[in-house]
Amino acid sequence: TETRYLTRLQLHDGGISGMEFTENGSHLVTVSSDQTINVLDCATQQTVIKIDKGKGNPHKFGISAVNICTENLVATGDDDGKICLFDMRTKKSVMKYHEHADYVSQMLFFSEVNHIVSASGDTCLGVFDMRYNKILDVSDKRKDELLTIAFVPETCDIIGGTPSGSLPVWRYNGWARPYDSYEFHPKEVECIVTYNDNIVLTGACDGMVRVMQIHPVKRNL
């Protein structure tokens, strides 16, 4: 069967570096290297919100990551390590912080505690508390960039992907250094997706998707 496009939409002038659906799937939020943020109505295929670079947008470098935190709040991270929180009702940044020294690769939002956990090319995890508008913690520097992260609910762990293939694992609230690491994975782990409470899917440079069970056991302590 021949593959065909159902639709094609020009949403940004630069490359699209991140996108995420809202919880009900009605809208798609995209971010770009051109420093812009776009919200698309999936039913009408029309842009309903557009935040351009310049006034009201603190990003001076390409946006590299996005995370929809709540119905109205969207977090974005850029190539310089800055993270901004936008209120989509006003189209303005309501919080911003700069804890990373390199690009932001991914962010996770934990609604129960209002924390944003971010991964970066500076090899560190960062934790920001939205309630108090302050940085809670930054992990120790490591040898490898963090290309992606995912949450493992059963063990309350954060697992990361790196260029070397090492998969470091942090315990939530134990941010200083990983308590474990899986070293058998092929190189360039650029995406990790949580499947259920203790299973994640990984994607690497060899084109293969791997299914991994993260056991609730401490190893290599």
CA 139 to chain centre: 16
> What pLDDT is recorded for position 2?
77
pTM: predicted TM-score of the whole model, two decimal places: 0.92
> What pLDDT is recorded for position 6?
85
For residue 59, give the nearest of 116, 103, 13 by alpha carbon: 103
> What pLDDT is recorded for position 214?
86
Return d(Cα 151, Cα 124) in angstroms, integer: 16
Q: 3-state class of 148 per DSSP?
A: strand
What amino acid occupies position 142? R
DSSP lists the bridge partners of residue 200 as: 194, 212
> What pLDDT is recorded for position 221?
38
Cβ(193)–Cβ(152) below 8 Å? no
> What pLDDT is recorded for position 216?
62
> What pLDDT is recorded for position 170?
96
Cβ(127)–Cβ(86) below 8 Å? no
DSSP lists the bridge partners of residue 120 as: 104
Tell how strand 157-161 and strand 199-203 pair up: unpaired
Tokens of 218: 């401490």
**Residues with pLDDT less than 50, the chain:** 218-221
Return d(Cα 169, Cα 178) in angstroms, integer: 5
